[in-house]
Amino acid sequence: MTNEDIQRRRMHGLYLTRKCGDIEALSRELLGLHCWFHRNVAFSALIRGADISGWKNALTKTWLYRGTLHGAAFDDLPTLLALHKGESWLGRYYEKAFLETIAEEVMRLMEDGVYSRAEMRKIFADSYNDDVIKNIFSPWGGIFVGLAGQGKVAFRDMTSRGFDLIDAEPTQTTEEVLPDLLRRYFTAYGPATLDDAAWFFGFQRDDKKKLQAADLDTYSRFEIDRRTYYCVDDGEDFADIPELTLLSGFDPIIVSYTERSAVLPPEYKKQVILSSGICLPTIAVNGKVAGLWNIRKGEPVVVFFDRQPKRIQAAAYELVDNIRRQTAGRI
């Protein structure tokens, strides 16, 4: 297998050379759709052929692996959340008992109909100092990250900043769900390495041993440049790499692997992945990122890093304009 074969197989698995008409099915197969910016979910779905009618409520927006927001099928949450079960960066700064007390107070307020962080900040201001308030109700999630990881809360819909109580508590251990999730990962994202899988699922160094303990003999494998790749060989034929492909912001073909140079040339990395960690929507020419696209003030924007033939420029603009038409008034 060559690097081009890897790219063809990944584009097939990630629905960049075929269509998935249902956004919920797409989310299941890709183990969630990245939505730090909610409109990237709509972009990603449309690029992959999915209908976005009712998309704001079709998926549940919550924190999954790597502490990132994803849109996921609701009944998939207990399995996806079981990998980390309520871990939160707040645990590095506060005692567990203290955080549990805060979480219980937040849950009681939500049961009484208080759903926004702004309201909760005002309520908690009389009992806690400014630093605690700032961290507990941080724009990065704060106490809600841990509650979401326990399957107790999620965002009200894909575009909301407020929360709802939910019942999606994980009932299995990491070891119990990992074999199925790893197979799903290698099916959609393969060929990929164990380091890729560890990165995707947010496993730290010690946790990588859990991946090595999985039954890896059930996967097809091969080596390139001393890296071992795994995938699920289902006998499907894969289409050629398209001449032109739109990729969403935080597109899975870019952010789901430790080695990205096959799709993102190193010379363009800083233009695509900003110092803040934001990954912009891009245009790939023959499978490699060659420019940026977006919709600003209701108008399509296309910028290539280097000169491209007029037909490529025109085709890219038409693809973006099609996204604009389909999302107008919906995102």
**Six-digit token pair at 106?**
């937040």
- pLDDT category of residue 205 using cuts at 50, 70 and 90: confident
166 in a domain, yes or no? no
The overall average pLDDT reported for the chain is: 93
Mean pLDDT in residue range 248-259:
96
Distances (CA, A) of 127 to 102, 106, 131: 11, 13, 12
Pairing of strands 153-155, 163-165: antiparallel
- pLDDT category of residue 54 using cuts at 50, 70 and 90: very high
Mean pLDDT in residue range 2-11:
94
pLDDT of residue 287: 97
> What domain range is 54 assigned to?
3-82+171-231
Are 292 and 307 members of one domain?
A: yes
165 in a domain, yes or no? no
Are 73 and 183 members of one domain?
A: yes
Are 180 and 285 members of one domain?
A: no
Mean pLDDT in residue range 77-96:
87
SS3 call for 28: helix
- pLDDT at 207 > cutoff 90: no
pLDDT of residue 91: 82
Q: Which residues contact 1 (CB under 8 A, 6 or more apart)?
A: 191, 222, 224, 229
pLDDT of residue 49: 97
Are 179 and 68 members of one domain?
A: yes
Are 146 and 191 members of one domain?
A: no
Of the three residues 155, 183, 213, the one that is the final residue of a domain is 155
Lowest pLDDT segment from 6-20, 23-37, 192-206:
192-206
Are 38 and 137 members of one domain?
A: no
- pLDDT at 124 > cutoff 90: yes
- pLDDT at 213 > cutoff 90: no
Of the three residues 128, 155, 182, the one that is the final residue of a domain is 155
Are 323 and 249 members of one domain?
A: yes
Are 136 and 192 members of one domain?
A: no
Are 76 and 96 members of one domain?
A: no
Are 77 and 175 members of one domain?
A: yes
pLDDT of residue 47: 98
pLDDT of residue 212: 76
112 in a domain, yes or no? yes
pLDDT of residue 253: 98
The one-letter amino acid code at 257 reads Y
106-111: which pairs have CB atoms within 8 A and are 24 or more residues apart? 106/143, 106/144, 106/147, 107/147, 107/152, 107/153, 107/165, 110/153, 110/163, 110/164, 110/165, 111/165
145 in a domain, yes or no? yes
- pLDDT category of residue 65 using cuts at 50, 70 and 90: confident
pLDDT of residue 233: 85
- pLDDT category of residue 310 using cuts at 50, 70 and 90: very high
Are 102 and 77 members of one domain?
A: no
What is the number of structural domains in the chain?
Answer: 3
Task: Give the Cα separation of 214 and 212 in Å (integer).
Answer: 5
Of the three residues 231, 254, 271, the one that is the final residue of a domain is 231
- pLDDT at 64 > cutoff 90: yes
317 in a domain, yes or no? yes
Lowest pLDDT segment from 5-9, 10-14, 86-90:
86-90
Task: Give the Cα separation of 281 and 295 in Å (integer).
Answer: 10
pLDDT of residue 286: 97
Mean pLDDT in residue range 46-74:
95
Are 31 and 68 members of one domain?
A: yes
Among residues 55, 53, 57, 70, which one has the least CA distance to residue 252? 70
238 in a domain, yes or no? no
Among residues 282, 295, 276, which one has the least CA distance to residue 252? 282
Percent of the chain with pLDDT over 90: 82
Q: What are phi and psi of 37, to 5 degrees?
A: -110, 120
pLDDT of residue 87: 74
| Greatest extent of the chain over all pairs of C-alpha atoms, in Å | 63
